[in-house]
Structure 1
């Protein structure tokens, strides 16, 4: 009976130590490694890229539309920075022969940083002239209007140059050379390449929109003719609505205008100033995110 009692106290459901099984933990460990096509950060990058491509197809030529695009671009580069910080991503980049692909990507991001640095300087100078001419309008002082008009033309010329400069990023070789042996490397290469392309796309929309708003129509439109075959944003031949509402003609003949007309002009100038400040703030965030991404790439190359 004792033997039977002891058998009744046995636990048949207790896991057998001789047969360990941890399939769930094993699968979870594999899911967080790179390169892996199902990695969540890669999926997030793809989602951001897809959203920006959809954004480009809904162009309405407004400052709000540009602000939205710049905000989405900042989020994309934040996600890219997180991806580049991963040791697995750095290992994948180091597998590229002689680091040539990573060096090329560094050059592309350096160009982006330089371009947005120049843009920030141009916008700052324009804001100063804008504030000065607002004071002149209140005083009906036309002497300052000429300087403001020259400042607008100067900004338009600089934006046209930036369009050509930023386009150089897509004319170089692929940023990361696909490794036919490692599927994860191929996927990473394609995603990073798309990040560069959408960065160029948003940047062209921004610089080109300002150039068209402040510069001569013929010269800027002629420049766009070579772009029309390359994307929906590139064939945009309209300036930014808020920028175009304050034309040069509305600033002339201040002494002959009535009080209501001057008041209306000042209102449009304040709206333009708000639009410029919104774009400036968002472009500053893009600038910082580009620097962070480049630093992450540089750490990969030097570590």
Structure 2
């Protein structure tokens, strides 16, 4: 859809221009869905973010857009945005690596379960899976801290032109979507809620139900919970349930991997375009 707006123009697009309107619409939709917590809703936001970056790349083709970015007084802000985009690409890489690691552990565990090893061997493999997940979460938490650092820089007030303001808005909403992806992969929010629930379990049944619903909505967390339950109960009859949850987890991981890979390519393209503009 964005390709239809590639016509050159001698002026900066007004708010009524199709590409400017499209950017506004995409930004508003993504802002409205910042609380996304399921793999399908997060995947939808990743697709929306890809479209947004496509539209921004079209915006960057306008001569006056390029002139605005090339101005010396805007240089510091542009370089700050480029630094932020580089950090966001690093976060994307961390998320992709975490998904790949989780997928590989998931596939390996599924393979072992299909061979139906002894109960003791299965328990050890379950623990290996959880150990791998724990190590991966440390990298996720570091990436989340980096996102907060970029976000704090964006919140610093300053005199920005129209183009810089748009790029800052795009970077801010990109941070929000990536944050939801990382939280989903690590299941950090759901786990913290489960922890709080354990302290007041006899008094707050309603909160327990809510946590269980959140767990069901996160396939990765559901698989992890099924593995923990199997270890705790020492009942290998639950293996079929673990297999089912692992399969669902693998499917959601695949979708998120594809979404992040496409988003990374869009972000690199936008970054290269801006670098070319300011280097001319």
Shift of the alpha carbon at 1:85?
2.7
Structure 2 CA distance for partners of 1:268 and 1:212, relative to 1, 3 Å: closer
Report the structure, 1 or 2, having the larger helix content: 2
Q: Secondary structure at the match of 1:66?
A: helix
- 2:199 aligns with none
Structure 2 contact 10–64 (Cα < 8 Å) conserved = no
- Offset, 1:277: 0.8
Q: 1:131 aligns with which of 107, 111, 115?
A: 107
Tell me the SS of whatever aligns to 2:14.
Answer: coil
Shift, 1:212, TM fit: 2.6
Determine if contact 2:184/2:218 at 8 Å carries over to the other structure: no
Residue number in structure 2 paired with 1:91: 67
Give ranges in structure 2 of 5+ residues lacking alignment. Answer: 1-6, 197-213
Query: Is contact 1:242-1:272 (8 Å) kept?
Result: yes
1:173-192 counterparts in 2 under 5 A?
178=159, 186-192=161-167
- Length-normalised TM-score, structure 1: 0.73
Change (3 A) 1:136 1:252: farther
Q: 1:285 to 1:30 in 2, by over 3 A?
A: closer
Partner of 2:40, secondary structure, is helix
Residue range with higher mean Cα deviation, 134-143 or 274-283: 134-143
Which residue is 2:16 aligned to? 38
Shift of 1:187: 2.7
Contact 2:39 2:256 in 1 (8 A): yes
**CA distance in structure 2 between the partners assigned to 1:269 and 1:76 by the alignment:** 33
Say how many residue pairs are matched: 250
What are the superposed Cα offsets for residues 102-132 of structure 1, whole Å, 9 maximum, x if unpaired? 1111101111111111221221122111111
Shift of the 297–170 alpha-carbon distance from structure 1 to 2, 3 Å rule, reads same
Q: Match of 1:36, SS?
A: coil
Q: After superposition, where does 1:186-205 map in structure 2 within 5 Å?
A: 186-205=161-180
Q: Which residue of 2 aligns with 1:75?
A: 51
2:243 matched to 1:266?
yes
**In 2, distance between residues paired with 1:220 and 1:103?**
42
Contact 2:66 2:277 (C-alpha < 8 Å) held by counterparts: yes
Given candidates 7, 32, 42, the residue that maps to 1:54 is 32
Per-residue deviation, 1:98: 6.1
RMSD (CA atoms): 3.1
Give unmatched runs, 5+ long, in structure 1: 1-28, 180-185, 222-237
